[in-house]
Amino acid sequence: MGTLRAGVKIHLIGIGGTGMGAVAGLLAEAGHEVRGSDAAVYPPMSEQLAALGVPVMMPYAADNLAWKPELVVVGNVHGKDHVEVKAAQEQGVTLTSFPAVLGERLLDGKHAIVVCGTHGKTTTTSLIAHILQDAGRDPSLFVGGVPVALGQGYRLGKGDDFVIEGDEYDTAFFDKGPKFLHYRPNTAILTSVELDHVDIFASFDAVKDTFKKLAALLPADGLLVVAADSPDALAIAKLAGCKVEPYIVVDDAISDGNTPADVTWWASNLEVGKSGRVSFDVHHINEKIERFETLLVGRHNVANCVAAIAVCHARGVPVRDIQRGMSSFAGVRRRQELRGIAGGVTVLDDYAHHPTAVRETLKALRKRFPKRRLIAVYEPRSATSRRKTFQGEFADAFAYADEVIVGRLFDPSKIPAADRFDPERLALDLHQRGTKAAYVPEVEMIVKQLAESAAPGDVVCVLSSGSFDGLHDKLLDAIGDAMRPAHRPDFPQVTALLASVQLAEPARDELMGSYFTLRNETGLAGVVALEVHGDDAILHSLAVDKEFRGAGYGWMLADMAVSQARWRGVRRIYLLTETASDFFAAKFGFRVVDRSTLSRAVANSETFMQIGDPERGKGAELVAMRLDL
């Protein structure tokens, strides 16, 4: 054990995976020479690795190790017969796993905060790291997802805390223990304990036995924060030899004048405001701590917030700092993530593939999009969801949608015929219970059906643990005039479009996550940017190709930016304009304001200063405007 010396040559097999890519980032930033291989690598991971300057070799081949790495990290989906595993063994190169590299080489001297459980790990891990970072604690982070604001699943900080998602899945072909065994937690969260990963767990007892190992890991001076509404999690927590703090979200009827028994932290009085923010009271034992706000929707997400509050409080973060960090946390990609809007149809992406996660996601979307038709499109893809273990439970979960389309079973050859999930039966069960549902095995037919039937205002949520054969983008393209978040390959065209309409506004690479593009049948037709600074945002770079002036694209893009601001919980949108003040006032309700009234965050932002720089020739002519949401 101990920190790796600087400049070690490390090769990662399966570098395109979310976890492996994040480990590559941590190792590269720690000063090591990192390369990797995969069958194929797709955005956003391909973009992240390119930005790091990490070479990726495709496809897998023995020659990929010709650069003589000193350490080879093997992803858990690769076995002893993998071509590069064999090549490493023939060369006498040490094989390890990414959890081992994290635990043995990057955690020394850190306070490890490990988030475990069947559900909510990625969101809770990301939220804790965001709060600590916002509070100036400079934490390190490893998470199996991509926080929206951070744009990557890792962070190498200089502070004391290292926040880690503790997966219960096995580590590697040579290490069948759970990943979290390598992380040596000082503080841990156990969000829930349910049956999952039935490909490696023969029974629910096997799942519980694995989490019991987490309880045994914690030192006597450690802390375990545990979900009080998960009986099995509570039972496991009793085995820990450290302080245990249960948490729960309670109904208002229960909370009025009552303290839940045997609970340390609890939330009550949940309200969804007009802005889309969820507010709730948090209590610690018998004392009301404060009222908090979050952009995360759903009771399950409020529970995640309470767990994060408990941990950050234990780490000494002031309540006001926790409030501020929580209110600005924008969530995680693939968790109710916007993939685009076309023809007034909103297309979302969600990773949910367990019936509990599906149910809670759809219930949350009901609150986020009240009075709108909710269409769920599901691909049974994960090892568990391809088995009939939860056949009946999935029918209960999907009943929260207005309409459900069930796709084909992904790679059924890997599942014994007698054990397979039946997607046709799911559609039939839903139909018989009164939910409009259909089994549509081909992606092209799903796209055709939705493109013809989806109406303005509808919300289509695609639920899959994989890519679903690019269904999201195919649907947006089929509807037409689709607006999407921009990606790195879009930037040369974005810059050229801004220049063509004489907008000298900055399309800096680090602001890529702020841009949205509109593409029609000819290509890029428009762009807009929404740069968020806490409660405030800057709308800039609104541009439409001259060929399409009058097509309504400017209004569509601006409307999407305003909608995104609401989703991000922004309270005020600012902009600078030379000629479009009447447009923004009439269409959206912006009003002209004196520049002296700008918030400090906006006035001091590099973007706002560049747009309004008098040396660029237009500073004095630009009008400042604000929209209060």
Calculate the alpha carbon distances from 272 to 150, 280, 294, 347, 628 in Å: 25, 9, 10, 22, 18
Q: Could you tell me the pTM of the whole model?
A: 0.83
Q: How confident is the model at residue 505 (pLDDT cuts 50, 70, 90)?
A: low
Percent of the chain with pLDDT over 70: 94
Average pLDDT over residues 4-15: 86
- pLDDT tens readout for residues 220-235: 999 999 999 999 999 9
Burial track 528-538 (b if 16+ CB lie within 10 A, e otherwise): bbbbbbbbbbb
Q: Is 3 among the domain residues?
A: no
Q: How confident is the model at residue 1 (pLDDT cuts 50, 70, 90)?
A: very low
Claim to verify: residue 88 and residue 216 sit in the same structural domain: no
Closest by Cα among 24, 31, 27 to 45:
24
Least confident segment among 96-105, 407-416, 613-622: 613-622
- What CATH number does residue 505 fall under? 3.40.630.30
- Judged against a pLDDT cut of 70, whether residue 453 lies above it is answered with yes
Q: What is the pLDDT of residue 623?
A: 86
- What CATH number does residue 62 fall under? 3.40.50.720
3 state SS of 595: helix
Alpha-carbon gap, residue 455 to 606, rounded angstroms: 40
Q: Is 510 exposed, middle or buried (0-12, 13-18, 19+ CB in 10 A)?
A: exposed
DSSP string, 110-132: SEEEEEESSSSHHHHHHHHHHHH
Claim to verify: residue 360 and residue 431 sit in the same structural domain: yes
Q: What is the pLDDT of residue 616?
A: 46
- What CATH number does residue 265 fall under? 3.40.1190.10
**pLDDT higher at 184 or 508:** 184
Claim to verify: residue 315 and residue 236 sit in the same structural domain: yes
Q: Is 209 among the domain residues?
A: yes
Claim to verify: residue 473 and residue 503 sit in the same structural domain: no
Percent of the chain with pLDDT over 90: 55
- Count of residues for the chain? 629
Angle between helices 443-453 and 471-479 (to 10 degrees): 40
Alpha-carbon gap, residue 289 to 309, rounded angstroms: 10
The residue type of 33 is E
Residues 6+ apart with CB under 8 A from 496: none
Claim to verify: residue 189 and residue 305 sit in the same structural domain: yes
Q: What is the pLDDT of residue 612?
A: 58
Radius of gyration of the CA atoms of the chain, in A: 25
- pLDDT tens readout for residues 60-100: 999 999 999 999 999 888 899 999 999 999 999 999 998 99
Q: Is 30 exposed, middle or buried (0-12, 13-18, 19+ CB in 10 A)?
A: middle
- Please name the residue ranges forming H helices in 265-329: 299-314, 319-328
Q: Considering 100, 123, 155, which residue would you say is the last residue of a domain?
A: 100
- Judged against a pLDDT cut of 80, whether residue 362 lies above it is answered with yes
Closest by Cα among 212, 250, 251, 214 to 232:
212
Total domains in the fold of the chain: 4
Claim to verify: residue 423 and residue 354 sit in the same structural domain: yes
CB 265, CB 283: distance < 8 Å:
yes
Q: Is 349 among the domain residues?
A: yes
Q: Considering 447, 480, 513, which residue would you say is the last residue of a domain?
A: 480
Claim to verify: residue 397 and residue 452 sit in the same structural domain: yes
- pLDDT tens readout for residues 241-292: 999 999 999 976 555 556 777 899 999 988 887 767 889 999 998 888 899 9
Claim to verify: residue 68 and residue 120 sit in the same structural domain: no
Claim to verify: residue 138 and residue 236 sit in the same structural domain: yes
Q: Which domain holds residue 433?
A: 337-480
CB atoms near residue 158 (< 10 Å): 8
Q: Considering 100, 116, 151, which residue would you say is the last residue of a domain?
A: 100
